[in-house]
Amino acid sequence: MIGGTVSQRHVIVVVGSLHYDIMVDAPDRPRKGETIAGFSWHPKFGGKGGNQAIAAAKAGAEVRMVGAVGDDMFGRFLLDGLAAGGVDASRVARIAGIGSGMSVAISDSGGDYGAVIVSGANGLLDPAATIGKRLWQGARALILQNEIPEAINLAAARAAKEAKAAVCLNAAPYRALSPELTPLIDLLVVNAIEAEEVSGIAVNDLASAAAAAHRLAQAFPSVVVTAGGNGAVGIERGRNSKVLPALPVAVVSTHGAGDVFTGAFVTAFADGQPFHESVQAANAAAAAHITQQSVL
């Protein structure tokens, strides 16, 4: 309550992937042909779309999720996870006869990880699911990623533009952007690997992250480059970049940190916070996330 009235939660639409994650804790990630004995494993709610939806809800947004799961136990687990995270999952399709998306991620003793995803039902989401006045009513922003087909992202971005909602693409994992989708993107969020793929500039510190962000800002109105343990750089076209060193924290696991960053960033931006302050809020949220065992 603020001044005796209920504060307004801004609406964010997330169109993206849902994965049942199997997390494996091990001393290191195996090399090709190598077998390593791990410490433990546990199931986890996942998919970049689902993770970002829950992160945005945790940051204070009203979140509507558009995605797809199979008619299996993984699908039920994912729907329960969205509900527990305070996300409206009424627009998540349940597809009969197909398995839900899943992934296996190996987290090493340093907190870094590698993962393999299997898209499953995510690849069968109907682009028409992104259209409809009720979905976009009051929406301030759309969050997209690259774990679903490009045709769905394009349909969602066009619908968002019609609804006058800002379009954020977290271009992960990397794939070439179509000339149809590129001009619809208002906010681009990329990590060091994706920034190098899109900009052609190798990112290995904050200086090179800033250089990549400046180049990307020639094509996108607002850009954020996250550089892992180094920090993040944000820039709006025609303005100076904002360089944020990583906050000093004890790292437990970096898994899902990029998704927390994106969800918190778009929530702050949709709430009307200045761009650089939105990046700062996201940086703090991601730092807090990596200090605990990932449970997204």
Q: Is 191 helix (H, G, I), strand (E, B) or coil?
A: strand
Decide if 16 contacts 67 (C-beta within 8 A): yes
* Active-site residue flag, 271: no
The 3-state secondary structure of 108-154, one letter per residue: CCCCCEEEEEECHHHHHCCHHHHCCHHHHCCEEEEEEECCCCHHHHH
Residue identified by tokens 């009235």 is 5
The string of DSSP letters for 258-281 reads HHHHHHHHHHHHHTT--HHHHHHH
Euclidean distance between CA atoms 153 and 151, whole angstroms? 6
Decide if 86 contacts 63 (C-beta within 8 A): yes
CA 36 to chain centroid, in Å, comes to 30
Among residues 88, 108, 186, 259, which one is catalytic? 259
C-alpha distance from residue 98 to each of 8, 74, 93, 95, 111 (Å): 39, 11, 12, 6, 33
Active site residues: 259
